Structure 1
Amino acid sequence: MYPTHPRSPAGTKPASIALVGAGEFGATFAAQVRRIPDLRLRLVCDRDAARSEAALLRAGYPAAEIAFCSGRATILAAMERGQVAVVDDLALIADLPLDAVVEATGQPEAAARVAEQALGSGYHLALVTKEAEVTIGPLLAHRAKAAGLVHTPVDGDQPALLIGLIARAGMLGLPVIAAGKASESDYVFDPVAETVTCWGRTVEAPGYDRLFDADPQAVLAERFVAGLETGTVPDLCEMAVVANHCGLGADRPELHAPVVRTVELPSVFRPAEDGGILGRTGVVDVFACLRRPDELSFAGGVFVVVETPDRATGLLLASKGIPASKDGRYLLLHNPIHLLGVEAPVSVLSAVRQGQSSGGADVKPRVDLAARANRDLAPGEVMEMAARHAVPAFDPLILPGSSLRPDAPVPYYLAAGRRVLRPVAKGAVLTVADVDLDADSALVRLRREQDAAFGTA
């Protein structure tokens, strides 16, 4: 999962890296990679060349080390001079002396094109855009392996970090009961003001202190505050990615997404017969971290609930401060932070020096992120995405993976932004036949190739 020798032998040339996408994640990667002797950023590609320049300058690259390039010859000349080439055309990254591409566009269609270009040029691929990974990740892993390359999700984002926790539990022989993440915004309860704040919105919550300290199983339903989300589209997307990499499933299509304090996780995410909420084990899920303003945030962190070897061991570990269920049977392993591009160089090093992915060893299209209509949909409506990837007319679901058959659930990111072709009743799962798929989309084309490669066509 991680390179055993982060530093290469003396005399080894640094690996040459291209970054595609100079947004938030890409900018943090550009800043951190300067501190990694075994990696050298050679090229940045973004449709907005000025944004690339600004990201590099903020990261500490002198202006003299940045070269705007318009063709292969100028790119090669800049590389020869030790400069970072800046380009605004994806086609220009083909067939260069590069070892790996870090894709950080944040746009699934663009990410699909970047991935195809990178693997086709013989580069290792670090895919940041989880929306592409959930749709075509298994195919990219399959293509990379066939070409002797590595396709990897990246540390710094939750899927790879959670896959690492799951792998650690597996190495220790600890059965994974549930694996998941905290939503990106905590439920922050202020006992003085009697309010709950989430996603920047504060709601009055008189009497909520009774729910804060109570047995979670007795008050879980009451902890939800109307209008405050506990599981967003990106949360379910990331959990679907982990399921495809690790062979886990979903206990329910919309996930449970409870409001839970960190110390309560091993008591809540355990089988129902033991007092928890799960109908089965080996599942992914999310939660909203309930805390006071003076408590440590878990927003965006990842966790695994495991079964202990025996209850005596569990109780012993609980006495050392490890969160556990009261009977000692279930234990919490967690990582409350994700450092975006600051951690991503670990995954890139793992790929180029060790030939290893930060993802799973057997990536398959086990599940899809799908959509259920939360109101009646009429032909001609366009399903535009809003903040946090929400399509207001959709509720996200994790369903068993299937091909793009007309009657099969349409993958969420193939439906987003597209036109509805026929009436869809409230409560119905959108199918491929319900949506006008983009005939020119690389994402759609690669998804159909994935269906064929894995025998689901």
Structure 2
Amino acid sequence: MSHRSAPDTVRYALTGAAGDYGRTLLAQRAPGIQPRVLCDIDTAAVRGLLTELQVPAARIVDADTPEAIANAAQDPDAIIIVPSIDLLPHASYDILVEATGRPEAGFDAAAHAVQGERHVTLVSKEIDSFAGVHLAHLAASQGTVVTPALGDQPANLIEWTDRLRAYGLDIIAIGKSSEYDLIFDPETETVTQLDETIAVPGFGDLQHLGDDLTATLAARAEAVAALKRTATADSCEMAVVSNYTGFTSAAPEMLYPVVRPSELADVYALREHGGILPEPGHLDVFSALRLPGETSFAGGVFAIVRTGDPRTWEILRGKGHVVSRDGRTACLFLPYHLMGVETPVTLTEAVRHGRAVTPHLPTQVSVLAGRTTRAFSAGESFVMGGHHHDVEGVAPVVLAIDDAPTDIAPLYLAGMSSLDADLPAGTLITLDRLTGCPTALLDAWQQSRRAGSRTH
């Protein structure tokens, strides 16, 4: 860390400021934290948001030129709204919160911040999945920090894994729940996910794992097959976690078992002990199953550990901790992720102490890639969109980098490119099939692959 003085007030710039993450961060009035520059194409929405959050109008200043930013900056309490990331280098701030979710624009903002020797927290996992390793190493070389943000599942799971390792626990698996619970109502024999409800006759017989765990999980999955439980964002987040922890995916598409939180220690045990894991060292996503009125897992994170001393863990089981039926494993979990509500801690740690959410720099352990789900023709361009940043016609897969083709294409590089050849359904996308990929992003990916290794 360079010898820079810690500011009394941590001033942050925020991209994608009108989004949900931006709102949850701006709503926080943590002491010593100040929003300084808010960037979004929809500046009116940002102004409206600040008004809803009861920020005095006198503090809100729109600026669309470097000169206007300089004038606004004369007021130390001003919150400056800008319409373009191109204006951010002209603003004064300590740390960038990158939350656009747009790979090219977000990468530009993050790269310029790092080059300007500012700290960065990457809320945009899309960028972190292919360029995070490069950006983190580049920042470290000049005494700044690039880090995931607490409040999002990757940072929470990375920090949780570090903590349990520090306890001396032997972790065999880590993971998170998908964003939205499956709520089973025994009275109506229905399962609800968000605003969609489906009939599941006989599901009551599947409420408990029973003697045949594999059969029960298969029957649950079949019963809720009409609900879309997977999301590209889940795979993206797990790829980021892999790069910081060394754990690799339990399956390229993630397993998504339908599991009650109280069952996690049994389900994520090794196969030889009746679970679903072929070996230790994997990460995964599960669909949280609960009854109406039961506490939600709230998109939380978990780790499965070997128990060791039986008496210790029987004591802990008695206190309500989740221990497997055979006593071999336990699940330790954080049943929440609070988005921007938690992020002020990340900002303070980075700016005042030069600390990321983990002391370990990431390496490219895994890659978020894509496999076509339909045939594509030469000349077609991939299209990104949707709430979970899907690439249309492409399924996300998380591959260990050592098992992937040497010219594997990260999903979000493919998503901004065109094809120079026909591509059948079921094909893993590689760089040699692409044209028009943004040069800066491609270089960042190549730099990430070349970053130094470490033992996780």
Runs of 4+ in 1 over 6 A off after TM superposition: 402-405
Given candidates 206, 220, 223, the residue that maps to 1:223 is 220
- More moved, 240-249 vs 354-363: 354-363
Confirm or deny: 8 A CA contact 2:88 2:109 kept in the other structure.
Answer: no
How far did residue 314 of structure 1 move? Answer: 1.7
Q: Distance in 2 between matches of 1:311 and 1:403?
A: 37
Structure 2 counterpart of 1:176 = 171
How far, CA to CA, are the matches of 2:415 and 2:199 in structure 1?
Answer: 34
**By how many angstroms is 1:355 displaced?**
0.8
Cα separation, partners in 2 of 1:171 and 1:454, compared to 1, 3 Å:
closer
**Distance across 1 between alignment mates of 2:194 and 2:380:** 28
Is 1:112 aligned to 2:107, yes or no? yes
TM-score, length-normalised on structure 1? 0.91
Question: Which of 57, 62, 71 does residue 68 from structure 1 map onto?
Answer: 62
Hey, what's the Cα distance between the residues in 2 that align with 1:255 and 1:45? Answer: 34
How far is the alpha carbon of 1:454 from its aligned partner? Answer: 4.9
List per-residue Cα deviations over 1:131-184 (Å, max 9, x = no partner).
100111000100110110011110111000111110111111111111111111
Q: How far, CA to CA, are the matches of 1:214 and 1:195 in structure 2?
A: 19
Deviations 1:377-414 (A, max 9, x none): 33233332343223342221111227998x62211111
1:86 and 1:221 map into 2 onto residues whose CA distance is: 51
Structure 2: how far apart are the matches of 1:453 and 1:178?
25
Match in the other structure for 1:56:
50
Residue 36 (structure 1) shift: 1.9
Paired-residue identity, %: 38
Which stretch shifts more, 66-75 or 102-111? 66-75
Task: Tell me the SS of whatever aligns to 1:80.
Answer: coil
Structure 2 counterpart of 1:46: 40
Match of 2:395 in 1: 395
- The answer on whether the counterparts of 2:14 and 2:39 sit within 8 Å (CA) in structure 1 is yes
Structure 1 contact 310–329 (Cα < 8 Å) conserved = no
- What is the aligned length? 442
Q: 1:243 maps to what in 2? A: 242
Question: How far is the alpha carbon of 1:227 from its aligned partner?
Answer: 2.5
Report what 2:345 is aligned to: 346
Structure 2 gap segments, 5+ residues each: none
1:114-153 correspondence runs (5 A): 114-153=109-148
TM-score by length of 2: 0.91
1:24 to 9, 13, 20: 20
Q: In the alignment, which residue of structure 2 is the partner of 1:161?
A: 156
Return the letter of the residue paired with 1:67: V
Give 1:444's aligned residue.
442
State the partner residue of 1:259.
258
Q: Which residue of 1 aligns with 2:196?
A: 201
- Aligned AA for 2:442? V
Asked if the contact 1:370/1:399 (under 8 Å) is kept, the reply is: yes
Residue by residue over 1:208-264, the C-alpha shift from the partner in whole angstroms, topping out at 9 and shown as x without a partner, is 111112424331111112222333211111011000011111222222211101000
Distance change (3 Å), C-alpha of 1:283 and 1:353: same
Q: RMSD between aligned alpha carbons? A: 2.2
Structure 1's 326 and 414: CA in aligned 2 closer, same or farther, altered over 3 A?
Answer: same
Q: Deviations over 1:56-105 (max 9, x none)?
A: 22222111111112333432332322211111122222154321111111
Does residue 83 of structure 1 match 2:78?
yes
Structure 1 spans left out of the alignment, 5+ residues: 1-7
CA separation of 1:413 and 1:403: change in aligned 2, threshold 3 A: farther
